[in-house]
Structure formats: C-alpha cells, structure tokens
Amino acid sequence: MTKATTPTDLTITPRDLRFGRGVRRARWWMNNDPIATAFYNALSVTFPKGEGFFIDSVRAFRAGTPSRLNAEINAFIKQEVMHTREHVAFNRHVTDQGYDVSLLDRHVDEAIALTEGKPAIARLAATMALEHFTAILAHELLAAPRHLAGAELEAAAMWRWHAIEEIEHKGVAYDTWLHATRDWPRLRRWAVKALVMLTTTRKFLSGRYLGTIELLRQDGITGLRAHLGVLHYAFVRPGMVRKVLGAWISYFLPGFHPWRHDDRKLISRAESDYAAAVLPA
C-alpha cells in the first residue's frame, strides 16, 4: 500500500464570505424541526472557542515546518478565523431567539480546561482528532443532501461553506503532527494518537449531546421524547453519527492519513450548488 499524503496539487483557499447578516432566521431554521435545529445550533455554539483552540494548538508547532506546510498552516488559520467570525454571527441568531447557551459554553470551557497544563503535543493531538471529526462530518454533510434538506438557504450555505473548507484543510493538523513527532517511535505515535482520539470523542459526543438536550429543554422538549428524538436523529435518520462511524474507525488503522480518501470532488460540487444559493437571482 502506498503511503498516503496531502495531494501536491491541493490549494487551501480562504473564502472570505459572510452569511445571514440582516436576515431574520426562524427559530427552527432547520426544516422547522426543533431536534435538527438543536443538533446544529449546539454544534455551532462550540465552534468559536473550539476553533480558537485549534489555531493555537497548530500555531505552536509552525516554527521550523517545511515551507509548504508552513503556508498550509497559515491558510488553515485564515480559514478557521473566518469560520469563527461566521459562527459568532450564526450564534447571535440562536441567542436572538431567546436560547440561553451558557451551559453549552461551559461545556466547551471545561473541555478546553482539561488540556491546560498538558504538553503542547497533546493539544495538537486533540486538535488533529477533532479536525478528523469535522472533516468526516463535513464530508457526510456535502455527500448526502438529506442532512440540510429543508434548511433556510443562507444557513445551509454557511454550513456548506464551512464544510468545504474543513475538507480542504483536513490534512493540516495531521501533517503538523507528523512533522512534530517525526523522531518518535511508530508505536508511541500511534498510542498517543489513538488514546487522544478516544478521550476526545467521548468528550465531544457527550458535550454535544448534552448541549442539544439543553436547547431542546428550552423548547419544552424533555425526557424520553428529547433523548430518543436526538438519538434517532443522530443514528437513524438522517443518521449523521452512524454515517461517519466507518471513517472514524479508519483513524486507528495503520497507514491512515486524512487524504487517503481524496474527496475534493465534493468541494467543486458544493461550490457550484452554493454559488446558486448565495448569488442574487
């Protein structure tokens, strides 16, 4: 099996776009469905702080990287900064609807606090794990139209734009890690990578799950209805979490690299879709 690497003809293009300014978004902007809306709102609330953490973690290892990786890190940072800006704007719509997101904010603060005092390489490993997570969610979001079916157009366009750029820069944290640990024995590399992925996944899933449940509680949806509704949404239909399970497992296999699976076709397809959605008719 040949060793997968980031394609040499990959370009990481920060697209400086703004979404959803000056519009009034419906409370349940996703298909008029409180569960689907809560699922994406809960995810969005975590992005500004999460992406700030990713940027810091990767930047800590920028010095001394080969020039191509150095340029990719800079493009990655530019993309993440703009994602943060757009999710801040998106989250303002969430709080404008009267949702209190303080508990969700606290979950993110607590998750980030767990990494404080840990070596910088552990923070990079957590970022690499979460970037794999975002890349496989982004892939599924663009590959299967059912996920964003019925969403308000400007909101769907924002999620597609974010997904495109997550696919584009999916190898950056990974390549930074490969460079930073180039002198490590293989087994140690794998063990740290795998262990951090397991703990990060547990924290990520439980945090987003509780966040979704909390937003639903504010809509008066509680108890079994909330829990079964969210589990059904995540695992059955449209089943985002179930659909990414295989790609999640691939992270642990020998020879894994985010670009072993070249899914750039999804980028060009989504870009033409969303150009039609954001350009004035």
Comparing CB distances to Fe ion, the nearer of 136 and 215 is 136
Please give the Cα distance from 113 to 64 (Å, whole number): 28
Over the window 44 to 83, marking each residue x when it contacts Fe ion by CB under 5 A and - when it does not, the resulting string is ------------------------------------x--x
State the helix-helix crossing angle for 120-143 and 34-59, rounded to 10 degrees. 140
Per CB under 5 A, contacts with Fe ion among 197-256 are none
Residue 12 structure tokens: 């990481």
User: Least Å distance between CB 85 and Fe ion?
Assistant: 11
Can you tell me whether residue 151 is helix, strand or coil?
A: strand
Helices (H), 169-279: 172-180, 186-217, 223-235, 240-243, 245-250, 264-278
Beta bridge partners of 151: 30
135-174 residues in contact with Fe ion (CB under 5 A) are 166
Closest residue to bound Fe ion by CB: 83
Cis peptide before 238 (omega within 30 of 0): yes
CB of 191 to Fe ion, least distance (A): 24
Q: Nearest to residue 152, comparing CAs of 246, 37, 234?
A: 37
Q: Which one-letter amino acid corresponds to residue 57?
A: S
Least gap, CB of 264 to Fe ion (angstroms)? 16
Nearer to Fe ion, 12 or 226 (CB): 12
Residue 77 or 230 having the CB closest to Fe ion: 77
The structure tokens 């040949």 sit at 2
Minimum separation from the CB atom of position 138 to Fe ion (A): 9
CB of 169 vs Fe ion, minimal distance in Å: 6
Tell me the number of residues near Fe ion by CB under 5 A.
Answer: 3
Provide, rounded to whole angstroms, the least separation between the CB of residue 79 and Fe ion.
Answer: 6
Distances (CA, A) of 1 to 171, 177, 187, 254, 260: 19, 22, 19, 10, 11
- Given the complex with Fe ion, which of 83 and 193 has the nearer CB atom? 83
With respect to Fe ion, which residue has the nearer C-beta, 83 or 93? 83
Q: Which is nearer to Fe ion, 152 or 166 (CB)?
A: 166
Binding residues for Fe ion, rule: CB under 5 A, are 80, 83, 166
